[in-house]
């Protein structure tokens, strides 16, 4: 089984010399054996073909996912657990560790082994899948760890654009022409945009982590419902406000927010290993107060989201493979125009109580790569607690400013909840 990488996957893959890795850490209370872990990972590979895949290049240097005849096991690295923050150090290490994708799978497993508590990490190349897909195989992994004979089914994998875009759109002459024209115009425009000769010196990468307790998390969700805005919009507004307070006029007042393509393309199932995403950019009206701004931003988010068209977007991108080099150069060398990327995975619906162990927490995923500004904030909610991972690099956002931005986000949440409590 094999398929060509789509445009977005090729962009994330790069030339293989720079890592673009995502990490999902989680904490289990219980005792485990290496045999149980090996079996669970093997079962995951049995269900998902692309977890068995290597990447090869054809005579035109085009990369392909290719499932080996005799699949190689997912590599496991074991380190002794010394403290509660070991997973952060291991996450940073995984960001920097290249995948030898011609010889090993695009997924690794790290076991931070303790006597009663273990932290475990899935580390994967971002071209393999997104956070949603990764949460699915985390859920399946835990099922098998608890019941080795658990049935998790078999994925019917996406083999190309034809498995995502309905045939009546993909073969429509008007839609094909539209996608080709947009692709050509975009490719020409990208060539004309001036970029620097050197990429920004990234310097040291960092990870800042925090949680909101159950009470504050619950109050925030209730507040958002009362304001008729999503938690995503509220947190985007809080992030924009924090950047403005810390960076002043140097802030861009722009946050890019990924939108799950599965909302628009039902062909992509929850258990598909797939990396394609959609994006909107959110800004704040700095002349309004926070609560007024929330409603305006929510209207903007809904309007922009309603205009997203995954099918045409994919067709445009697939018509522009020859522009990939210029597009990548623009991302690496062009000036940053966004403060950060903000991603909210929402409530993670994975059980925490199992027969043989308990899942104490899932830390929000972290991701870092070479395509421009690395500043990224990811949040998720598990067992009623909102969890935040804030990644960045000194060359884009100094660590001291990132800490101040974290404090401002927390302060904004507290201020809004205190305000409504007084009312």
Co-location of 109 and 210 in the same domain: no
The closest alpha carbon to 380, from 361, 394, 403, 355, belongs to 361
Out of 130, 146, 162, a domain closes at 146
pLDDT confidence band for 261 (50 / 70 / 90): confident
357 and 265 co-located in one domain: yes
138 and 7 fall within a common domain: yes
**366 domain-assigned:** yes
170 belongs to a structural domain: no
207 & 349 share domain = yes
Count of the separate structural domains present in the chain: 2
Residue 90 lies in a domain: yes
Give the per-residue pLDDT at 422.
53
How confident is the model at residue 331, as a pLDDT? 87
Residues whose CB falls within 8 Å of the CB of residue 127, separated by 6 or more in sequence, listed in order = 5, 9, 10, 12, 13, 20, 106, 275
Quick check: is 220 in a domain? yes
Residue 350 lies in a domain: yes
Residues 87 and 216 placed together within one structural domain of the fold: no
Using DSSP, state whether 122 is helix, strand or coil.
Answer: strand
| Residue 174 within a domain | no
* 298 belongs to a structural domain: yes
Cβ atoms of residues 148 and 359 within 8 Å: no
Answer for the pair 345, 200: CB distance below 8 angstroms, yes or no: no
Does 35 share its domain with 130? yes
CATH number of the CATH domain containing 282: 3.30.559.30
Higher pLDDT, 184 or 22: 22
pLDDT above 70: residue 360: yes
Residue 208 shares a structural domain with residue 142 = no
pLDDT at 224: 95
Instruction: Assess if residue 317 is contained within a domain.
Output: no
- pLDDT of amino acid 200: 84
- CATH classification of the domain holding 141: 3.30.559.10
Beta bridge partners of 344: 379
- Distance in angstroms (rounded) separating the CA atoms of residues 372 and 415: 33
Question: 248 and 393, same structural domain?
Answer: yes
Looking at the structure, tell me whether residues 113 and 228 fall in a common domain.
Answer: no
Q: Which of 111-115, 291-295, 361-365 has the lowest mean pLDDT?
A: 291-295
Q: Structural domain of residue 207, as residue ranges?
A: 202-308+332-422
**Which of the four pLDDT bands, split at 50, 70 and 90, describes residue 418?**
confident
Among candidates 318, 69, 24, which has minimal Cα distance to 170? 318
Q: Is 184 exposed, middle or buried (0-12, 13-18, 19+ CB in 10 A)?
A: middle
Question: Over the stretch 160-181, which tens digit does the pLDDT of each residue have?
Answer: 999 999 999 999 999 999 999 9
């Amino acid at each position: 089984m094999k398929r060509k990488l789509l445009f977005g996957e090729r962009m994330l893959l790069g030339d293989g010399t720079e890592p673009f890795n995502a990490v999902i850490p989680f904490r289990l209370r219980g005792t485990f054996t290496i045999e149980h872990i090996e079996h669970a990972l093997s079962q995951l590979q049995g269900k998902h073909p692309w977890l068995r895949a290597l990447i090869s290049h054809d005579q035109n240097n085009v990369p392909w996912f290719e499932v080996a005849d005799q699949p190689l096991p997912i590599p496991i690295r074991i380190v002794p657990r010394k403290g509660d923050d070991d997973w952060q150090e291991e996450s940073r290490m995984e960001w920097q560790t290249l995948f030898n994708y011609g010889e090993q799978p695009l997924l690794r497993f790290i076991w931070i082994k303790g006597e009663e508590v273990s932290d475990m990490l899935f580390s994967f190349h971002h071209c393999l899948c997104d956070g949603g897909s990764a949460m699915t195989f985390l859920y399946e992994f835990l099922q098998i760890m608890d019941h080795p004979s658990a049935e998790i089914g078999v994925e019917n994998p996406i083999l190309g654009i034809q498995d995502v875009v309905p045939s009546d759109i993909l073969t429509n002459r008007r839609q094909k022409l539209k996608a080709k024209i947009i692709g050509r115009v975009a490719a020409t425009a990208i060539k004309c945009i001036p970029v620097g000769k050197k990429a920004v010196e990234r310097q040291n990468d960092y990870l800042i982590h925090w949680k909101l307790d159950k009470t504050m998390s619950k109050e925030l969700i209730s507040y958002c419902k009362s304001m008729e805005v999503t938690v995503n919009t509220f947190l985007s507004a809080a992030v924009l406000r924090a950047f403005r307070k810390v960076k002043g006029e140097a802030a861009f007042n722009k946050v890019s927010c990924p939108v799950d393509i599965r909302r628009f393309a039902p062909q992509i199932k929850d258990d598909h290993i797939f990396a394609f995403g959609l994006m909107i950019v959110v800004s704040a009206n700095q002349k309004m107060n926070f609560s007024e701004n929330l409603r305006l931003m929510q209207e903007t988010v809904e309007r922009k989201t309603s205009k997203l068209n995954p099918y045409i977007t994919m067709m445009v991108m697939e018509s522009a493979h020859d522009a990939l080099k210029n597009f990548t150069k623009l991302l690496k060398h062009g000036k940053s125009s966004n403060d950060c990327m903000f991603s909210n995975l929402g409530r993670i619906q994975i059980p925490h109580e199992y027969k043989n162990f308990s899942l104490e927490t899932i830390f929000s995923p972290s991701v870092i790569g070479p395509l421009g500004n690395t500043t990224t904030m990811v949040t998720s909610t598990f067992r009623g607690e909102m969890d935040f991972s804030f990644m960045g690099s000194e060359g884009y956002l100094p660590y001291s400013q990132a800490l101040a931005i974290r404090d401002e986000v927390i302060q904004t949440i507290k201020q809004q909840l205190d305000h409504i409590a007084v009312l």
